[in-house]
Structure 1
């Protein structure tokens, strides 16, 4: 409860937190320290592998439950597919197509550039236990997809089994009565918040884990790994910009919208997302701004929340690019068949990425584990540069959902195109208190799509 002085602003000024208390700043300092220790004391650094591995093991404690919970809630957010409206059906189709394009773009960029090759063959990598290596028999792979019991999937380390259970559980949840669905969803959300609380505690140890992983990598592999990580960060930002300008630009053009003008309209929300590296930061403002731009409230209410679970373009690009980075850095061959299997896995696991900062990294760790042939040790190394990449991830995810909402509204016939043209031409219209807000356009009821 705030005091009267705090409410009136006459109380003592709020004490600013020290810059070194930020986990992001601590991680940056640990990277510098790890590089220095690895370069000066390579012998000592070779014994720090256990530090990075321990941090990774702590993260993995919450991976399986979080993947299960977020995939189930993502499916539940789509609603009853048998009774879905035309808007919901169009949105789901759009999400899957664009997410697949984002994954393919990431894989294409990684293959063309050979991301991670410059690091050489890193030492000490091993695949997740109990999962077939690449090139194994198809029968062995198929046999590991479906678990023989519910609890065994979480204890065996087979993340793909957890994803399969989550998909089946989510579909089963849609078949229950609405009142039961509501109670279960509320309970799942509460449990999910608890596990994210666990991850937040573990993330406080990120500077220590990052220091150990970076020092070990530099001490055993030299500066080639650092150059490869810098190239990875630069390449990811370039691919994200290309995705927004080319892919999302073409989608907007098909709907008669200028993507650069749309970026200008939502630049305030995107700046907030960029600074916090969390797509949730811009959601409240977008939920208020999009209806004022002429998008129907019904479409905004359905497409935006669902998109935050299903339409994570920046996450898809990150997962595709970073998995290829690990494969190249550790000298793990990945042919067409392995990359096709990787694409299928990422189409599922990317739906489990949370909207909070760090969610993409947790899901990426689960994807590396689920593949069975990528070294899990490399995940700790990538965490050192995740903060820089997460800003682009969150921004791409958020703007991708803005485009999805506007485009779905346009082709569904419930977009006030005249109002949108006015806003795109002059975004300051939204700041004028004398201009009344337009009435929300009601979509024409559509028949069931199934």
Structure 2
């Protein structure tokens, strides 16, 4: 009450409180970084370590967050079968909407035809510019991806930065604790205490988010320049508009059927979305998303399984980009794809999008993996979009992030593990009860 009275009687105090909000700080940092990158491009490009350093800080804590969230969630389940049930529902959701995203990109590319009329000769393209991506795409086979889920040791799963390895070990550990039962209670209590400490570390790291966003956006604008958007503006605009329609119409429709508003969810996650926008990395906001979903009434076991798995299997923005960019390249090179060529492209993309899951820069690498299998479109054509890929990376990450937030709520509701009253209060901006694990973003994210 004292704080509220202070805000009402003291406009300066209210302004100070507003400026202390994380999303305000990140937004200002993004705007400042864009100005620095545009007017002083050399300085902007030199600020890349600020963005890379912040992302490394967050990635450092992701594996412990996933491990503790999943283990404690499974340990609290009354039936082990519930783990398999939640996982099956999540995978079914991921497969359906990931495939739908690929189809949406394909349809939009055929209707808008953003590359038509460019008439570029493939012989004039610099294939060497994408040689690194081609090699990484070659290494990202489905078999290699599946084998990489298994860590060298249980401890290495928490040290090598692989989300799926951490999830795999956490599920095994959680199931084992649940099977042991009462004798494992002291261990569960210790993990609960450790989780509070780890999430407090996340809260501390999030204070550096504006610095990371400033450095990342300054680098992007400084290194690539806004001028690169002019030549390929049709592709970038088409991709952003398609992603926006997918979020508002497709995911918005799913949200409405599940009983919540997509716009209110976006508002609830505004700080995290701005962080993703500034850093071009949805992983930067993964720990905060886990905490936010629990605070919004999703049961911890569901959050622990759906969010980490979604980061590898539910890449709606990346999938829209893949088919849209592939057809753009074909149109720009004057290559007319038949219906069967496009169906083959779609089928290959469905597989390759899973094989390159979790790879840094997965959108561009997965596209390279897809085109290397579909000989109709020359791989060298990717050099056309290399200059603007960084600008589309933000949109891919934002769409992926929102898609995973929606998936978590939907699967929780589907499994009867959603507190609807808590969800309504969270999306309305009203305080919710404190989750079992200390909030990752603290009170600076509240309205």
TM-score between both structures, scaled by the size of structure 2: 0.60
Superposition pairs of residues 56-71 of structure 1, within 5 angstroms: none
CA 1:90/1:270 → structure 2, altered by over 3 Å: closer, same or farther?
Answer: same
Secondary structure of the 1:274 match is helix
- The 2-side partners of 1:288 and 1:107 are apart by 35
Cα separation, 2, equivalents of 1:301 and 1:320: 30
Equivalent residue, structure 2, for 1:301: 304
Q: Deviations for 1:14-54, whole angstroms, at most 9, x for unmatched residues?
A: xx99852544999xxxxxxxxxxxxxxxxxxxxxxxxxxxx
Closer/same/farther in 2, CA of residues 270 and 162 from structure 1, 3 Å limit: closer
Which structure's residues are more often helix, by fraction? Answer: 2
Alignment of 1:411-450 (within 5 A): 411-427=414-430, 429=431, 436-437=433-434
Structure 2 unaligned residues grouped into runs of 5+: 1-35, 49-69, 75-79, 128-133, 166-219, 438-447
2:409 pairs with 1:406: yes
* CA offsets 1:181-229 (integer angstroms, 9 cap, x no match): 7378569758x99xxxxxxxxxxxx99x989xxxxxxxxxxx9x98661
Query: Mapping of 1:45-444 within 5 angstroms?
Result: 85-124=84-123, 163-166=141-144, 169=147, 182=154, 229-353=232-356, 358-427=361-430, 429=431, 436-437=433-434
Does 2:70 align with 1:20? no
Q: Which is worse superposed, 395-404 or 179-188?
A: 179-188
Query: Residue 21 and residue 437 in structure 1: after superposition, are their counterparts in 2 closer, same or farther (change >3 A)?
Result: same
Q: Decide whether aligned partners of structure 1 residues 274 and 289 sit closer, same or farther in structure 2, where only a CA change above 3 A counts.
A: same
SS in 1 for 2:117: helix
SS in 2 for 1:360: helix
Q: 1:186 to 1:333 in 2, by over 3 A?
A: farther
Question: Contact 1:273/1:395 (CA < 8 Å) preserved in 2?
Answer: yes
List gaps (5 residues or longer) in structure 1. Answer: 1-15, 27-76, 129-155, 194-205, 212-222, 431-435, 441-450
Structure 1 residues 416 and 226, CA gap change in structure 2 (3 angstroms): closer
| Change over 3 Å in CA distance of 1:227–1:182 after alignment to 2 | same
Q: CA deviation at 1:335?
A: 1.1
Work out the CA distance in 2 between the residues paired with 1:95 and 1:335: 28
- Work out the CA distance in 2 between the residues paired with 1:373 and 1:185: 39
Aligned to 1:443: none
Distance 1:395 1:387 in 2: 13
Q: Does the C-alpha gap of structure 1 residues 261 and 158 become closer, same or farther in structure 2, counting only changes over 3 Å?
A: closer
**Which residue pairs with 2:22 in the alignment?**
none
- Distance of aligned partners of 1:387 and 1:167 in 2 relative to their CA distance in 1, 3 Å threshold: closer
| Inter-CA distance 394–250: structure 2 relative to 1 (3 Å threshold) | same
The 3 A distance-change label for structure 1 pair 339 and 99 is same
C-alpha distance in structure 2 between counterparts of 1:82 and 1:294, whole Å: 22
* CA contact 1:106–1:317 (8 Å) conserved in 2: yes
Q: Provide the rounded CA distance (Å) in 2 between the counterparts of 1:359 and 1:113.
A: 25
SS of 1:374's partner is coil
> 1: distance between equivalents of 2:420 and 2:394?
31
Post-superposition offset of 1:126? 8.9
CA contact (8 A) 1:127 1:372 kept: no
Deviations, residues 242-278 of structure 1 (Å, cap 9, x unaligned)? 0000000111111111111111111110011011111
- Separation in structure 2 between the aligned mates of residue 424 and residue 378 of structure 1, nearest angstrom: 44
Q: How many residues align?
A: 311
